Amino acid sequence: MQLVMRRPEINHFIAISPPVNTIHKYDFSFLSPCPIPGFILQGDNDSIVSADDVKDLANRLSKQQSHIKVDYKIINGADHFFRYKTEEFSKAINAYLITIQSNYHHHNNNVNEEISKSPKKLFLY
């Protein structure tokens, strides 16, 4: 996730079961303030990362800047690796990608010209 702070060409992130407050105590304070919008996906049956801790991270990131939105979704019954929940996992990721694509198209009058000038990058963690 530190890449989003160092790489200005990245304009969105997707974090899947980010290791918040795990045994390794990963610190996400470097994302203060979070410079880009993103999506955090978590299973509520995750035995490695607490869903409550991930929700707290999503809330903290969302509240840092009013123009930066960090979406958060829990997949019921999913473990840390989303075993047996791959369909729900895929649908959630695809829905977010469609949302950012439609938002990008909505904000640019001449999308093809704009895309060719400024390629967009997504960071997946």
Residues in Cβ contact with 54 at an 8 Å cutoff, skipping those fewer than 6 apart: 17, 18, 20, 40, 42, 72
Q: Which domain holds residue 94?
A: 3-116
Instruction: Give mean pLDDT, residues 67-91.
Output: 93
Q: What strands, in cross-sheet order, belong to the sheet with 121-124?
A: 70-75, 38-43, 10-16, 121-124
Q: 34 versus 83: which is more confidently predicted?
A: 83
Instruction: Give mean pLDDT, residues 116-120.
Output: 46
- 63 vs 80: CA distance, rounded Å: 25
- 121 assigned to some structural domain: no
Task: Indicate whether 71 pLDDT > 80.
Answer: yes
Q: Give the chain's mean pLDDT.
A: 77
Instruction: Give mean pLDDT, residues 85-94.
Output: 95
pLDDT, tens digit (0-9, with 9 covering 90-100), for 6-63:
667 778 888 899 888 655 555 566 556 666 788 999 999 999 888 888 888 888 887 7
Strand 70-75 and strand 121-124: pairing?
Answer: unpaired
**Residue-wise over 47-57: b if at least 16 C-beta within 10 A, else e?**
eebebebbbeb
Cβ atoms 56, 72 nearer than 8 A:
no
Domain CATH code at residue 11: 3.40.50.1820
Give the number of domains in the chain.
Answer: 1
